């Protein structure tokens, strides 16, 4: 075969596994706008920054958590819920199914909807989306788990992206996709039904 045909054949063979599974979707490209704030633990107290985002929320706070043991963050979400902010939480089922040492019971006791993600080996997102519909749209992401250790013992990062509503809506839409597959939680300990 001439060189061009070999090259096309090799490319086709290389792409065959991806094509067999289905089409590969492209990433989203959004315009950079708004402001960013960054905190590193244990030096910068990311928890204080996260608590400020929750306190500043006016309409909605959507959470995706891998590990959620921080009573301070749970209490801030409860306070937001009590002042009329719609608060909903998704959490990794394996990391949060036990009652002991977990902040989820505080959320449930306050009437905050909680659902556990079970589809994945680890639902490893650590995200807070505040007021995605605007104004004040904010996305919090990074390696920071919602735990005391993440703030005091671990090397973590927390990135707050403000006033980029297209970004916040993309995160919100992804949150909704995950919520559609998650299992509602009413009490702990929890087992998949």
Tell me: the pLDDT tens digits for 124-164? 889 999 999 989 999 999 999 998 999 999 999 999 999 99
Asked if pLDDT for residue 18 goes beyond 50, the answer is: no
Give residue 9's pLDDT band: very low, low, confident or very high (50, 70, 90): low
Report the CATH number of the 33-185 domain: 3.30.870.10
Residue 64 near residue 175 (C-beta atoms within 8 A):
yes
- Report residue 49 as tokens: 């920054």
pLDDT at 120 over 50: yes
Question: Mean pLDDT, to the nearest integer, of 63-90?
Answer: 96
Strand segments (E) across 42-137: 60-65, 86-92, 114-117, 127-130
CA 126 – CA 65 distance, rounded (Å) = 5
Domain ranges of the chain: 33-185
Rounded CA-CA distance 155/18 in Å is 36
pTM of the model: 0.83
């Amino acid at each position: 075969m001439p060189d061009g045909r070999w090259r096309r054949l090799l490319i086709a063979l290389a792409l065959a596994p991806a094509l067999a599974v289905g089409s590969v979707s492209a990433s989203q490209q959004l315009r950079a706008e708004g402001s960013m704030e960054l905190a590193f633990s244990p030096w910068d107290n990311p928890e204080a920054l996260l608590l400020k985002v929750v306190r500043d929320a006016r309409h909605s706070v959507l959470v995706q958590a891998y590990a959620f043991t921080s009573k301070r963050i749970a209490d801030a979400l409860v306070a937001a819920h009590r002042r009329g902010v719609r608060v909903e939480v998704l959490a990794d089922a394996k990391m949060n199914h036990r009652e002991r040492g977990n902040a989820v019971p505080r959320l449930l006791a306050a009437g905050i909807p909680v659902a556990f993600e079970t589809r994945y080996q680890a639902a490893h997102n650590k995200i807070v989306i505040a007021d995605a519909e605007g104004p004040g749209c904010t996305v919090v992401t990074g390696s920071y788990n919602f735990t005391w250790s993440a703030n005091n013992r671990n090397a973590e990062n927390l990135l707050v992206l403000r006033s980029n509503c297209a970004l916040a809506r993309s995160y919100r839409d992804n949150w909704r996709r995950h919520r559609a597959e998650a299992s509602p939680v009413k009490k702990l300990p929890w087992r998949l039904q």
